[in-house]
Structure 1
């Protein structure tokens, strides 16, 4: 097993070991961290996710977005483009179905898709990160492929990308692959690694 796979397995195990109470507390602390950031305050169209496999939960933040009149979107596996995502409007009334990974996503029949360049902010999950803002995902490359245009056009083009994590997912240093998309920053339940 290569070192990336070993690290991925180790960190996933740590975050899955968190109790429901620890997860709720972390989700509330994350919401407090995010609500202070200009990238969140200035955003009207925000892509979120529903947690899976111990990922930090965005539900408190999603509820805050709705209270503030911000529009939220969930990722949906693209039916044609391999390992890519669509973003579909998400509200309390959105009907969800489980995708091939058992992650709830909106039913897309007749639903409008938000062009990715029209999103202001994308909050994305990750497995591990370092203080320099490097991110390790689950390994499928969905976010990397979907936002690959930012590597070609520049990190400032399109939405800001913020990685979401528990602080326990931080490692000393991550190797960066050529296909890894640059993030604006990473926000945890304890700290913001922000400012790129």
Structure 2
């Protein structure tokens, strides 16, 4: 089995695990995740934070994003064009339009380059204890944050957001995969070495 085939097999299994959570489990986990996001942002005083809109069973960050906006933090959401991803400012009343994947994106708001961001809350399919991240396979986050390769102390901090059931014992990693600095699950925040 090739690394690509192994990634696809793991991706299917981890998505299945995520979707198997019932509504009550998901709501409790989402509340715990939002609390962990708030504590992280307060502790490290991040001003520009990129989040995401939940898709296909991903954790719902809407409560955390609304709180960040109320705290006068710049909240950004990803915008995908062709093979590139950039970020636009989000406000609760922002005009949104679904992209080709059906994910809402802000339209007509201020844009930000990846290097301007302090903290990126990254969606993912799976993660491992070494900071490896398995996404949906299109490489948008890996391309956007490729400048972080070999520069682990630079901003932005890349923190995955997932449910604990999405942890894998190990994940195949390619040279272009950008590792996570940390992970937030319903069990809290964990930094990787």
TM-score by length of 2: 0.91
SS in structure 1 of the partner of residue 27 of structure 2: helix
Mapped contact 1:128–1:171 kept (Cα < 8 A):
yes
How many equivalent residue pairs?
Answer: 190
Determine whether 1:178 maps to 2:181. no
Extract structure 1 runs of 4+ deviating beyond 6 A: none
TM-score by length of 1: 0.90
The residue that corresponds to 1:87 in the other structure is 87
Unaligned runs of 5+ in 2: none
Aligned residue runs from structure 1 range 38-187, under 5 A: 41-78=44-81, 82-108=82-108, 111-151=109-149, 154-187=151-184
Range 27-36 or range 128-137, more displaced: 27-36
In the TM superposition, what is the alpha-carbon distance from 1:169 to its structure 2 partner? 0.1
Distance 1:131 1:115 in 2: 29
Distance 2:98 2:85 in 1: 15
- RMSD of Structure 2 on Structure 1 (CA): 1.8
Unaligned runs of 5+ in 1: none
Distance 1:7 1:83 in 2: 23
